[in-house]
Amino acid sequence: MQYLLLIHGDESLWGTMSEAESSAIMGEYYAYNEAITAEGIMRGGNALQPTAAGRIVRVRDGERVVTDGPYAETREQLAGFFMVECDTLDEAIDAAARIPGARHGTIEVRPVASHDADR
């Protein structure tokens, strides 16, 4: 089954880090990416630009409404994701726990809905 590992964190922390600190964390992410690729569970993933670059789109009464980011009044923002394919939820949770952002943020593990099961 495929799982989306959603990385939530405080994007303002990146601005407080030295170049050495941010480079070290990015190195950990590259190593994690290589590890889950070698394990054969990696299906995709990427970092996201800051919330200020995003837009919210809603349709209300047939009218499109677009709102500039940041739009979340929370301490943590969605920063990136990995798509993995694991045999069990426990295996996906193990993969999520190894994401470097789990030490200072939150990793949400979400099973991807199978359209085949819906038919």
Residue 30 pLDDT: 96
Q: Mind listing the pLDDT tens digit for each residue in 26-44?
A: 999 999 999 999 999 999 9
CA distances from 3 to 23, 29, 33, 89, 110 (A): 27, 18, 15, 8, 5
Q: Mind listing the pLDDT tens digit for each residue in 55-112?
A: 888 899 999 999 887 665 677 889 999 999 999 999 999 999 999 999 989 999 999 9
Task: Answer yes or no: are the C-beta atoms of 64 and 83 closer than 8 Å.
Answer: no
12 secondary structure, DSSP code: G
Task: Answer yes or no: are the C-beta atoms of 61 and 40 closer than 8 Å.
Answer: no
Total-model pTM: 0.86
| Residue ranges of domains in the chain | 2-118
CA distances from 68 to 15, 52, 54, 55 (A): 21, 7, 7, 5
Residue 71 pLDDT: 60
Q: For the domain bounded by 2-118, which CATH number is listed?
A: 3.30.70.1060
Question: Residue type at 66?
Answer: V
